[in-house]
Each structure stands twice: as C-alpha cells, then as structure tokens.
C-alpha cells in the first residue's frame, strides 16, 4: 500500500493540528484520548484524520497512524526549538500572519456560503447574446475551428472504398450506411456536426500534415490520411478561421462564466457595503483620528 500522497498532506494536517488539535493539559478536551506529547502540547487520537485510510487494511492503517504521529512529534520538536530560538518580534509577526490567514479563510467561507444560498446563477440566453453582440471584438478566434465527422477505421476493415463514397455523400441513406458501418468496424467515429472543435485537435489525432490550415479549409471539405494502423476520413461541414469572430455557440460558456463572475463581484461589493453601513448606523464601530 503506497501512502506517499497521504504523506504530502501531512504538513497541512499537522499545521491544522497545531491550531486546533493540540492542547495543554489544563485544556484537555473531554472524551479525547492523548496519543503523543511534546513538552506541554498533546496530540489526541480523535484529531488524527481517518478519511485517508478508509478502505485500507488494518496493518496499513496502523502504519499510517504511526507515521502521522512520528511526523507530528518531529514537527512539534522543531516548532518548540524555533519558538526558543526566534526573536519575539518574529514570533509576533508569525502570529499576525496566522491570524490574517484565519480571518481571510473565515471571510471566504462566509462569502461562499452566501453566494451558494443567494446568488442567482441562471443566465438567460438573451443576456448571453447581448454581451456577445456588445463585445464581439473580444471573441476573435485564436485557432481555426471546425464542425466535422471524424472516422478512424483499421486498414484491414472491408469495403474502405464504400466508406470513402458514403462519407462524401449528402444523401441521408448513405450517411446512415456510414453510421452502421462505423459502429461495426470503426476504431473511432465522432460526429462533431453539432459543436465546434479546434482544427488542431482534429489534426493531432491523424498523421495528416497541413502546413496552411486557412488555405486548406477554404478549398478542401474532405481530409484523408493513412498510417500502418488505420485509415482516417474527415468530413469538414463548417469552419471558421482564426482572426474572425467566434460563433456565439463556441463562446457561450465563456460568456456565462464572465457574467456570473461579474454578478458575483457585484454581490460581494453590495454585501460588504451593506454590512458596513448597517454597523455604521448601529454605531458598532468607531474610527479614531
């Protein structure tokens, strides 16, 4: 059983133990069982994370706990030595940093909980379309994109000449024959007719070399390639060239994330202002000059 990923978490877990799980004898929590002591600081069995050993054998679990305790002891010995060695000014600075980390984490958790409870995460299509039309200059394509049918068939498969005829045809009956054939023989059969993908992504899955993508896409609705394993057939139904404005459907997800982020930032600003003015009106704070 390999516990290496668990050990990498031990530093974080031990830091949390220093803040929460380690108590002096006078502060000993009721019902907690001490398993180690360094000076006046105790580690309790209840504070050793158990979720990382769920499903492991009893022997592996024991090894994990022993390793965790040894790490905790080593960490505490160094911490206590550092506390004696470091000047008080440094210790005070560390305490301030720990307090700031605690405050920042508390604020973050509070904000995330309110966002989860109260933020409207439904973005209407009309808002997405309006943002797209108002900011079309933001959506210039960085890569060529395509809608394609991508077929990869073993070179030993029968009737490859028929596949070549079917995938070039516009007749529904031929495309149905192609689909049935591919389900039986194809190593890969992807229909990207309903959504855009990068042309680079398509080419990377084939041995084909296209030096000038823009020129190729303008004049070639079909692409074929072959290696020792497979024959590739690619039908390019639509394309958009780099530098042109991306189709709305290609960037709609990005727009939704942008609008939600703006909505979230506005929500947090309003939250901060509301809390501030509520406290101001209630005379819950003072600023001394």
Domain limits of the chain? 4-85, 87-118, 120-135+250-281, 141-240
Strand, coil or helix: 151: strand
What pLDDT shows up at residue 15? 47
Report the share of the chain in percent with pLDDT over 70. 88
Q: How far is CA 123 from CA 19, 98, 128, 287, in A?
A: 41, 39, 7, 41
At residue 70 the predicted structure's pLDDT band, cuts being 50, 70 and 90, is very high
Q: How far is CA 138 from CA 57, 63, 133, 258, in A?
A: 55, 55, 10, 12
Range picked from 15-24, 74-83, 185-194, 255-264 for highest mean pLDDT: 255-264
At residue 113 the predicted structure's pLDDT band, cuts being 50, 70 and 90, is very high
Read off the pLDDT of each residue in 265-271 and give the average, rounded to a whole number: 96
User: What's the CATH number for 141-240?
Assistant: 3.10.50
C-alpha closest to that of 235 among 156, 278, 280, 178: 178
At residue 82 the predicted structure's pLDDT band, cuts being 50, 70 and 90, is very high
Read off the pLDDT of each residue in 81-91 and give the average, rounded to a whole number: 93
Q: In this predicted model, which residue has the larger pLDDT, 27 or 97?
A: 97
Q: How many CA atoms lie within 13 A of 167 on its CB side?
A: 29
The DSSP element (H or E) to which 87 belongs, if any, is none
What pLDDT shows up at residue 26? 47
Q: Range with the lowest mean pLDDT among 59-68, 145-154, 155-164?
A: 59-68
Report the share of the chain in percent with pLDDT over 90. 74
What pLDDT shows up at residue 28? 56
What pLDDT shows up at residue 49? 79
Give pLDDT tens digits for 115-131: 999 999 999 999 999 99
Task: State the Cα–Cα distance between residues 85 and 93, nearest whole angstrom.
Answer: 15
């Amino acid at each position: 059983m390999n516990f290496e990923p668990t050990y990498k978490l031990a530093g974080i877990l031990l830091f949390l133990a220093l803040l929460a799980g380690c108590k002096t004898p006078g502060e000993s929590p009721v019902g907690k069982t001490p398993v180690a002591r360094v000076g006046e600081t105790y580690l309790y069995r209840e504070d050793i994370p158990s979720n990382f050993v769920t499903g492991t054998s009893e022997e592996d679990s024991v090894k994990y706990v022993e390793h965790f305790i040894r790490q905790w002891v080593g960490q505490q010995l160094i911490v206590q030595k550092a506390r004696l060695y470091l000047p008080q000014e440094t210790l005070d600075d560390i305490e301030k940093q720990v307090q700031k980390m605690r405050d920042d984490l508390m604020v973050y958790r509070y904000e995330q909980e309110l966002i989860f409870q109260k933020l409207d995460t439904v973005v209407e299509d009309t808002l997405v379309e309006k943002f797209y039309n108002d900011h079309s200059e933001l959506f210039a394509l960085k890569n060529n994109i395509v809608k394609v049918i991508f077929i990869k068939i073993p070179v030993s498969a029968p009737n490859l000449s028929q596949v070549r005829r079917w995938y070039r045809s516009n007749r529904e009956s031929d495309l149905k024959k192609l689909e049935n054939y591919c389900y039986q023989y194809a190593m890969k059969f992807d229909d990207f007719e309903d959504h855009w993908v990068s042309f680079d992504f398509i080419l990377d899955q084939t041995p084909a070399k296209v030096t000038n993508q823009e020129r190729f896409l303008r004049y070639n609705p079909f692409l074929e390639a072959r290696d020792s394993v497979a024959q590739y057939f690619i039908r390019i139904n639509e394309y958009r060239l780099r530098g042109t404005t991306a189709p709305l459907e290609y960037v709609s997800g990005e727009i939704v994330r942008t609008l939600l982020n703006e909505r979230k930032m506005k929500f947090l600003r309003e939250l901060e202002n509301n809390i501030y003015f509520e406290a101001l009106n209630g005379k819950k704070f003072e600023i001394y000059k």
